[in-house]
Amino acid sequence: MCKSFAFVAALGLLAACSSSDMSSTPSGQNDQQGQGINRSSIDASNNSMPNSSSSVSDQDRRFVHDAAIGGMAEMEEGKIAGQQAGNDQVRQLGQHMVADHTKANDELKQLAMSKSISVPTDLDSMHQSAIAELTKMNGGGFDQKYVSNQVKDHEDAIKLFQTESRQGQDGELKAFAAKTIPTLEHHLQMVKDADKNVRSMSNGNSINSNQGSMNSGSSNPGMSNQPGNQNGNLNPGDTGNTGSTSTGQGGAGANGGANGR
């Protein structure tokens, strides 16, 4: 009886141990499987995220920075031209620059934000100085300075966008640069046309000014033929008459003297 009880108790103990092992093992496996699933989910999430700032090349980053500053400068200078230009063509050119570069910069900012690239909000010292100089000018002097700046700025901008379209690593930024180049080239041609117009008007004003100076400096033709009148001297045409009169007077005196004797 005691042996039977002991045997039954032993069987119960074995059953309890077996149940404990079975319940603990799957739990550990489940934890490991759960961790594996979580890591896979994190990896997949990271892979699906858009390009981060760390994955952007230095070339693309420089392009965004320089293009944004150049666009802001064009907008600011264009606004000043719309108010202070003396030439209608220059004034219209400035308004055109404001519209086109505002549109381009807005698109560039959207692209940069999608790639976590910071975009400058202030101009650099070089462009600030150029704008400060323009604000002190107006009329013809402003026109010449503004157009001269625009020629150089657009030549530099075309080189910047061409470099990005060829050497950039980001496909969207390269595409943006490539499609903007024709607009910049059109701007450059507009600027050169305005430059010719401004130079032509400037040269015309200089010629008129010189002619005016010559006319105001010349003397009366009638007076120029009679220098003696100005100096108190006798003119050649008056010499004979005066001489004749003097001779006659002298003769009269001589005759008087002779008669007196």
CA angle, corner 51, sides to 50 and 53, nearest 5? 130
CA 28/CA 18 separation, integer angstroms: 16
- Whether 39 contacts 97, CB under 8 Å: no
CB 177 within 8 A of CB 64: no
Contact 162, 49 (CB under 8 A): no
Residue 256 has phi, psi (to 5 degrees) of -65, -40
For 55-203, give the CATH class.
Answer: mainly alpha
Q: What is the pLDDT of residues 133-175, one digit of tens each?
A: 999 999 999 999 999 999 999 999 999 999 999 999 999 999 9
Instruction: Map out the domains of the chain as residue ranges.
Output: 55-203
Residue type, 261: R
Residue numbers in the chain where pLDDT is lower than 50: 2, 5, 8, 22-25, 37, 42-51, 219, 221-261
- Output DSSP code: residue 234: P
What pTM does this model have? 0.61
Grouping H, G, I as helix, E, B as strand and the rest as coil, residue 85 is strand
Q: Which residues pair with 79 in a beta bridge?
A: none
Q: Give the single-character DSSP code of 53.
A: G
**Tens digit of each residue's pLDDT (9 = 90 or more) over 214-248:** 555 554 544 444 444 444 444 444 444 444 444 44
Of 256, 145, 244, 136, the residue nearest 191 (C-alpha): 145
Among left, alpha and beta (phi > 0; psi -120 to 50; other), residue 256 is alpha
